[in-house]
Every structure is written in C-alpha cells, then in structure tokens.
Structure 1
Amino acid sequence: MLLTGAAIAPVLPPGAAHASTFKTYAANATVSDLESEDIESLEGGIAELASTYSARPPAELWPAAYRHRRSADTLLHRHHTLKEGVELARHAAMLSVILAWAAHDVGRRDLVKELCDDAWAHAEQAETPEIGAWVEDVRCTDALYSGNPLDALTAATRGLQVAPANGDAAVRLTAQLARTHARLGNRDDFAEAAAKAHHYRDHLPLYDGGLFGVDAARIISYDATSHGALGQHALARKAASEAISYYQKSPQQAPTRLAIARFDLAQAHAALGEPEAALSVARQALATDRIVSSMRGRARQLDRQLRRRYPTLPDAITFSHELQALT
C-alpha cells in the first residue's frame, strides 16, 4: 500500500509552526544587560584578594571584598543570560567565602555563619560543589578557634563529602579533619587522617598555597597544633619549628600562619619546661601588624598555660600585662 504525502506530513498543533517564534527564543537566550568587563572585574577581584589575603590586614580586605560582593548581587538582579547567571553565582559564592575568612579574622562569628550560608547557597545554584568544600573549611577553622570541636568535625566531614577527590580542598579538609580529631582526643582517628594528608605532601608546594590552595607548610603546622593538643610536646616542637622555617623562606608573606606556628612552638616550649624560650617565641609571633582574632586566642591560651605552670616567673607576669594591653 502506497503512503500519500498527506500521510507522512508532520502534524503540528495550530500556531506552532511559525519560524519567527523559535528565532525569538534563540535571540532571548543571549540577551543580557551585562557588559563583558562586569564579570571580568569580579574574576580579577577574586584572584587578587585570594593571592594577597594572607599578607593584608582584614580591615583592608573587607571593604574591597564587600564592594565586589555587592557588585555581584547587583549584577544578579539585572537581566543576564543563564550562563552569566551561573558565573555570577559562582563568583558571589567565592566572594562570600573570602568575606567569611575576614569575619573570622576579626572575631565576628555571627557574620562567619551568615556568609558561609550565603556562599553555600550560591555554590549550589552554580552547581560548583568545590566552593561548598571551601565554605566548610572556613566553618571548621572558626569552630575550632571558638572552642567547638564537634562543630568543626561536622564541617570537615561535610566538606569532604562535596570536595573533588584529591583536589586542594579535599587535601586541606583532610588535614583539618586530623587537627579536629586531635582536639577531640581521638588519637587513632587523628593518625589515620594525618597519614592521608601526608600522602599528598610530596605533590604540594612547600608554601604559598594561597587562600584557595594547600601547601606542605600548612599540613605541618596543623601537625604541630595536633601534637600539642594530644600532649605530644616534643613532636609539636619539631613540627612547629619545621613549619616556621618554611614560612620564613616564603616570598609571599603569611604573618598569621607564621604566628600560629610560633604559638605552637611557644606552647611546646612551655610544656617542656622552657618558659623563657616560650616567651621569646610568643613575642616574635605578636611582632606583626596583622594581629587577628586567632592569634589573640592563642596568645591568651599561652598566657594561661604560663601563669598556671610558672606563676612567679617575672617575665611571664610581664608578658601577661603586655597581652592585656594588646588585646
């Protein structure tokens, strides 16, 4: 049986066969009120903030990052393509992570939470889970310095669930997980996580990992903190000394990381019966223009340790007065 032309002709509903309709659809997909430099400005701002973060005071970083974050929000509310919307959401998320770090550095824990929540929400919209991992890296550190290791454990675990395997975020969160287990006194879990973190050491730069990176010095510095928390003070002294040597060689200044390593060394000296050495190193740690909340916390922790173990030592008493004036 022969099929007629009418039999094989496509059957379309009335009004659906206008070519102009589909031409309009295609045109609308590329309509945008944004200029090419709008997104480029955000990209450049993020790169500059991330690369210089460790050397700049939070009070200087905050307005620059906040200006870019507000710009991202403004652009998101303007007419843009779907592709541009994804890029803007990704940049907004990254900027909120940077602002969360700045909030942590000035001790604004309330802002850390809100900024992390914002970054996570925009990372989901951008379908970029790695940013979620960086969000949890901030939460983990902030929780540890706020005396909430269980919250830190939750953050590190959640971050590892979304971090790309073997990526920088996964390596850093693995080291965070080790540090958190040490704070909780989980020796076996610490050893397991620390071994995983050290597995990556040979493939990492010694220093200059940046805000969204990881380096060997950071892993070793976390080791020093962990050994101190577990009462392994000789190991803490060794790891802290090694981390300090790396940070001192780095052409990219990282005064906060260097100071934290020095406080780890100072606490190890104090625990090993070397209070004069502890005080000398602590004063070196505080001899910087970039004093942040975590450094104040570590300094107060050392002060309590010294006053408890060496209550009559004149230099320890002097240090306590100096610290009160500083904080």
Structure 2
Amino acid sequence: MTRPQQRPKKPPNTALAGWITRSGRSYGALAVELKNDLWIAGHTDACPPHRTRIGHWVRDGEIPRDPLPVVLAYTLTRLCGLSQALTPADLGMDPNAASGRGPDHPAPPAAAPDEAGDPTKRRTALALIGGTALAPLMTPGSASAATARAYAQHATLTELAPSDMAELETAVDGLGTTYSSQPPHELWPTAARIRHRVFTFQHEHRHTLREARELARHAGMLSVILAWVAHDLGEGDLVQAYCDDAWAQGEQADHPEVGAWAEDVRSTHALYDSRPLDALLAATRGLAVAPRDGNAAVRLSAQVARAHARLGNHHEFERAAVRARDYQARLPLHGTGLFGVDAVRITSYDASSYGWLGHANRARAAAEEAIGQYRSFPRPLQAPTRLAIAQLDLAQAHSALGEPDAAIATARQALTSGRMVDSVRGRAQHLDRTLKRRYPQAPAVTEFTEELKVLIAR
C-alpha cells in the first residue's frame, strides 16, 4: 500500500519575522493592531487573527487569505514608521512574487511627487488598503454603515480588563490609607511595583482615551506616594523627580489635583530641608491648581502659613493662618490616610509655626493640644510621624522656656514612636543643637546627645 505523498513543509517566514521584530510588537499586540486596521478599512467580515495564528505565519510560512496580507503590510508599514509602503511580497506573503526584502533591506522609495511632503503617507496607506477607507468620504451613497460602526468600535478597543482599573483604584487607596502604619522601606517596593505596572499599561497595552486619562491619574497619585516615601527616607532627588512626574501625569489626565498633591509633598520636603522660600513657592503653586475647598487646598493653605512662619513673616503668617483656621472649623478631628485632612493637623502646624516665630508659650499650648488629640485617635487612624513632630515641637518650646529636662523627656517620647523617618531625625537633631547651645554644661543634654547619635546610626 502506497502512502500518500506528504506536502513539503514550508520554511519559516524570516521576512515577516524581521518586520514584526522591527515593529517592536508582540504577536498579541500585532493581532490587536491588525484587527483595528481591518475594521477601519471596512473589512468587517474578515476574521481577525489570534496571536497564535500570527505565530503560524512566521514559523510555518502560512499565507493567510485576502485581505489579510494587504492590511498586514499596511499595519507593519505604520508601526515601523516607514516612508515607503510595504507590500505582501515584502512580507513573504505573495505566493507569486516574494521579494525577500527584510527590515534591513526595505523596498526602494517610489513615492509619487504629490506625496513627498506627507509625513504620514496617508494617500499611500489608503491605496494600500485598496481605497476602502476612502469610500465613505466620497459620496453618501457609497458610505458603509459597517465602516461607521467600525469607527466607534475602534474608539472603544482596549487590551485592559475591567478589573485592571478597579485593582489600581484599590491599590492607590490602600497605600494612602495605611501609609502611616507601614515603615517607608517596606512601602517603597510595593508602590514602585504598582507604579511600573501602570507604566506598562500606558505604553505596552492598547487602551481607550478615557482609560488613558485614568491611567495617568493613577500614575500621578502613585508618584505622589513614592515622593512621600522618598521624603521619609531622606532621598531629596527622588522627591523632586516623582513630584515632577506626578505633575506631568496630572496634566495628561486633565486632573490638576494630582499636581496639587505633588506640591504638598514638595513644600513639606523643602521646609524640612531648610528651604522655606522653596516651600512657600511650592505651596502657592499647588494652591493655584487645587480644587477649591478640597482636601489638597486645605493642606496647602496650612502649608503656606507655616512656610511664612519659617521665613519669619509674622504678618503674612497671621493672614494665611486665618484661612487655614477657617477650614479647621469644618474639618473632622480624625483624618483618614495620606490624602485626608483633619483639624489636628492645623493645630500641629501652628505649634511648629509659633516655635519658629519665637512665641514659646503659644507653641507649647498648640503642641500639647495636638499631642492630646493624636493620642486619642483610634488605632487605625493613628499618625505616629505627626505625633512625634508635635512632641518635638513641644520639646523645643520647653527648651525656649528654660526647661531642658522637660524638653529631653518629651523628645525621648518622640524618638520611640516606632516610625523613625527623616523629618523626625531632622527635628531631633535641630533640638539637640538648640539644647547644646542653650545649656552647654547640663549633663542631661550631653547624655541626650549620645543617645541620639546611637539612634540615628542604626
């Protein structure tokens, strides 16, 4: 019995493989692009290929049915940014004439004279598709309802699953809500991983324009969180870089509040970095774009006040503080997370401000009030960093009032908060310098200095 003769296996299509590699697209991404171009060209009846089918075209030398070779040639021309249109023969998909040209040997230019100034080669592209896309533009009678529907379908094409956006929203909200309860060095890898995931969605997956704005908003808020972590870790360059990114993402999202939150971080960092003028500029810039009476506006109003206090501008501080206290009367006592606002934050900022302005008694009163309120917070809402700062403000007030022992005792409480971030270290070192200047002979001061050296060296 004679076995039927087997059809010889076709060699891999190296020309097509080369052009796909040059396009920078995976088989899956190319399948989406090809599906879009089929719809735009009016080939709504053509069956768009799956990524596995494209793999067969490359590995097994398969040649798909028309109109796929022609539209694929157009798609790769567009993705590769070529000025001369590819043909099916260039892709090894013309059974009668294969040119064998790969991505390193494209077809010689043959553009018509009237196309020389057209960087996108629209006329070449339309001719390549066979003029189908041009038909609806010529006469109403020749218009295709299917083509019109394809425009709408193309606008809603996405590679993102509905759960992707929901997961990002949950992740950003969770990071903000639990921020103060986690050490910065543990927060960083989590936030950085999610931020890069958004970057991948933005640049490696097809998405709608609405999804693009949402992705930019999430990206911006994640960069704000990363800027806060960088601030807590004392990484100044990273603070500025992530604030800049957050501002840019907010602009792309048409969501200026993202930029306002970025300036809130920038202002805080500048203030603790002994750059009060930069802190004032950042707070003012953020306040200019923050939604009126929103959380960011409240925070930035208080930032403006304490920046003026750090600069020694008594009159400007009082003016700005009035606005912040107007908000305070309407705020809840307990805040909720990194992007929340509460009345005690305004009181805490007053404690710092009065200390910088030399009003020790008023600073002590404000710090004691803030400490009492922070300690009364329910455990999920506790803010260990803000409590430590209020305690160090109280210690500074004790020092100014001639009470070094009380200052040291209060500072020790601050240094056992369990969240030793850069701002707390900086405030503690400033207190140490103040104590040594005012009480150089006091043994308790010398002992505190040594304790602080050991703590910071850990």
- The 5 Å alignment of 1:275-286 reads 275-286=404-415
Q: Give the alignment partner of residue 150 of structure 2, picking from 24, 33, 43.
A: 24
Q: One-letter code of the match for 2:422? A: S
Change (3 A) 1:98 1:12: closer
Q: One-letter code of the match for 1:264? A: D
Q: Give the alignment partner of residue 55 of structure 1, picking from 159, 166, 181.
A: 181
- The 5 Å alignment of 1:1-327 reads 13-14=138-139, 17-77=143-203, 78-251=205-378, 252-327=381-456
Q: One-letter code of the match for 2:355? A: G
Instruction: After TM superposition, give the deviation of residue 23 of structure 1 in Å.
Output: 1.1
Higher relative contact order, chain-length normalized (CA < 8 Å, sep 6+)? 1
Instruction: After TM superposition, give the deviation of residue 18 of structure 1 in Å.
Output: 2.4
Q: By percentage of residues, which structure has more helix? A: 1
Equivalents in 1 of 2:280, 2:249: separation in Å?
23
**1:79-136, CA deviations, whole angstroms, 9 ceiling, x for partnerless residues?**
0111111111100000000000000000000000000010110000000011111110
- Give 1 or 2 for the bigger CA radius of gyration: 2
Q: One-letter code of the match for 1:307? A: K
Report the TM-score, using the length of structure 1 for normalisation: 0.95
Equivalents in 1 of 2:353, 2:201: separation in Å?
43
Q: One-letter code of the match for 1:64? A: T
Identity rate of aligned residues, in percent? 58
Corresponding position of 2:63: none
Equivalents in 1 of 2:446, 2:138: separation in Å?
89
| SS of match in other structure, 1:164 | coil
Report the TM-score, using the length of structure 2 for normalisation: 0.68
Q: One-letter code of the match for 1:27? A: Q
Instruction: After TM superposition, give the deviation of residue 63 of structure 1 in Å.
Output: 1.2
Instruction: After TM superposition, give the deviation of residue 56 of structure 1 in Å.
Output: 1.1
**Mean Cα displacement is larger for which, 89-98 or 197-206?**
197-206
| SS of match in other structure, 1:203 | coil
| SS of match in other structure, 2:274 | coil
Instruction: After TM superposition, give the deviation of residue 201 of structure 1 in Å.
Output: 1.4
Equivalents in 1 of 2:263, 2:177: separation in Å?
20
**1:127-151, CA deviations, whole angstroms, 9 ceiling, x for partnerless residues?**
0011111110000000000111111
**Mean Cα displacement is larger for which, 11-20 or 124-133?**
11-20
Corresponding position of 1:4: none
Instruction: After TM superposition, give the deviation of residue 14 of structure 1 in Å.
Output: 4.2
Q: One-letter code of the match for 1:159? A: G
Corresponding position of 2:9: none
Instruction: After TM superposition, give the deviation of residue 289 of structure 1 in Å.
Output: 2.0
Corresponding position of 1:7: none
Equivalents in 2 of 1:232, 1:319: separation in Å?
25
Equivalents in 1 of 2:318, 2:414: separation in Å?
28
Q: One-letter code of the match for 2:412? A: R
Equivalents in 2 of 1:207, 1:23: separation in Å?
52
Equivalents in 2 of 1:12, 1:117: separation in Å?
44
| SS of match in other structure, 2:178 | helix
Structure 1 runs (4+) deviating above 4 angstroms are none
Instruction: After TM superposition, give the deviation of residue 13 of structure 1 in Å.
Output: 2.7
Instruction: After TM superposition, give the deviation of residue 209 of structure 1 in Å.
Output: 3.7
Instruction: After TM superposition, give the deviation of residue 318 of structure 1 in Å.
Output: 0.5
Instruction: After TM superposition, give the deviation of residue 210 of structure 1 in Å.
Output: 2.0
**Mean Cα displacement is larger for which, 34-43 or 103-112?**
34-43
Q: One-letter code of the match for 2:432? A: D
Equivalents in 1 of 2:277, 2:325: separation in Å?
23
**Mean Cα displacement is larger for which, 184-193 or 59-68?**
59-68
